[in-house]
Every structure is written in C-alpha cells, then in structure tokens.
Structure 1
Amino acid sequence: MDQLLVIMGVSGSGKSTISGLLSQMQNWPMVEGDDFHPAENRDKMSRGVPLCNADRMPWLSAISDHVNAADAGPIILACSALNEVVRGHLNQNVQRRCRWIYLQLPANILEERLLARKGHFMPVSLLQSQLAALEIPHDAIRINGEQDPAKICADILQNL
C-alpha cells in the first residue's frame, strides 16, 4: 500500500536520523521536510520567531507536491507535523495514507540535543514554543525516542 510514514516530533527528537536509518533499512525513499521550507521560514526561525500556520502552508504544499510526484510505494517523511492543521493539510493533499509516528522525548533531552547541534537554522530558544504547539495525534504510533536508533526503527516496523 502507498503510505506516507511521517516521523514527527519537535526539533531535536531525531526525526531526520530515524527517517534516514529507516529509509536505509527498508530501501524506502526519504523526504526531509526541512528541505522544503522557503527562505522566509528559515530566516524567521533562525531569528527565534516561531512559525504560524499561515507560514507553514507553502512548505506543506511543496512537500505534498513532491510526495505526490513520487513513484508508488511507502515514503518516509521527516516532518514536525506539530498540530492538527498541519496534519490535516497533509492528509487532504497527499495522495497516500498518512501514518503518524511520534518520537517522544523529555524536554531536557531535547534541549541537550539542540544545544549540541551545529549548523541548523532552528535555535534552542524555539523548543518551548514547539512543545506548547504540539498536539499529539490520537492515532499516532508513539515511540520512545531515547532508545538506540536501531531499536527505534525496529519498534516502528513492529507497530506498522
């Protein structure tokens, strides 16, 4: 079945790492959601200004267009997908079944990861706004993001 497996969570949760590893393990294509942010969004976030849903619409449309142009089969998307508006947009515009896989971690671990990360446009100062905006979908597969990446991927595959 054609599915879009959305590895979701706040910044620092490991979305890109887990998506990349899962992609390698299963030989499924991976889409890095951050690559589709327009320059205005990246600039805004780099200045510590949270995005609003209106800011996210061009980004989500670009992701949807890219996914819809892809070949049949599962696709993995690393995407924050923090709220129902974002997920609703993907559900309505992506021509695949969206599956939500939420990487759950405590705020202190997320902060440590963000402080250690270099060269990313997302500053640690936006973590609290992301946590406040987070609406975990009721149908998400919840995964303990503190585990070893291979274990996380195994848990994801077991739950699919």
Structure 2
Amino acid sequence: MVTVALAVTLILIVKGRQPAKPAGLTALSVPPASRGVIQISGDVAHPGVYMAVDTNLTNGVIYMASPLCSGDLAKQSELLSAPVQTGKTLHLFCKGPDNRAIIQYGTMKSSQLLTLGLPLDLNLVTEADLELLPGIGPTLARRITEFRQKNGYFGSVNELLQVEGIGEKKLKQLSSYFK
C-alpha cells in the first residue's frame, strides 16, 4: 500500500500541474472604442442598454428600442442627428396631439458605468459614487469631494495627488476608473 502511494506521489511530482488555458474575454469587457454604450428608457417597447456605432448612436439606439410614438421619427431629423456620448441616457417621451417624440438626455448611474467598464467623470461623482471604487472609503471620498468644492473642477486625474491620502500608488490604482 505504501509502495502504491509513493508511486502515485512520484508520478504527480514528475508530471506536475498542466498550465492553465489563457482566459478569454470577460463578461464585462470594456467595449471597443468604435462602439458606444447608451441606455434608453421611456416610451419604448424595449428599454435597456444598447451598444451602437458612435456615428449613429442616437438613430440606432432609438430604433433598436422600438419607440411607441405614432409620429414618424424620420421627419424629426433633430432627434436622429444629435450626437450622444457613450455612457449617456436617452429618455423618450411621446407628447402632444401628434404623439411627437421628445428626448431628455442624462448620464448613466456610476454603478452602471462601472459595471460596463466605462470611466466616471471625476468632476461629477458623489461621495457615494467614489465609495464604489476599490481603495476609497468614506473618509477619502469626503476629502476628494471637499477638495473639488474648494478648488473647482479637476483639470486631470493627476490632480488627485493634491488630496490628502492619495499618493502615486493610489493614483495609479484609481486612474483607470476616471476619464
């Protein structure tokens, strides 16, 4: 019995573990630069988050979501030609006697942006948003927002170095989360 156990152990040591296969794309990979991510809601049959080619963001997203407005959207060229940045929201309302489409623009919640791998705007995030990031607790989040209130908008992510508690290592860790 001991001989069998030694033989099995010797075989395992000699063969060793096989190297792991390289990991593929993750479920939450960052979308390619040529694609945009937009959330559409409101008077549409299919509300949700859509990926579209940047040049046709508004047009493509509106038609993919299937608007419930009876008016002809193609005649409302101002709606279909307006450029929209990735990470934004479009809320479509059908208003008036002609059921004309009206769009209200906004920004996705920080939690949604992070889930989609999209950067946050350092000048718009709240303390609660900052606390979603690894390495930022309530105290550091408060320092960042207080610094922004006292000194105005951040010109670049590197200005975080002026916030007490953020050094080069922390900046490197956080910089990928901001645009």
- TM-score range (shorter-chain normalised) is under 0.3
Give TM-score scaled by structure 2 length: 0.23
Structure with more of its chain in helix, by fraction: 1
TM-score, structure 1 normalization: 0.24
Max Rg structure: 2
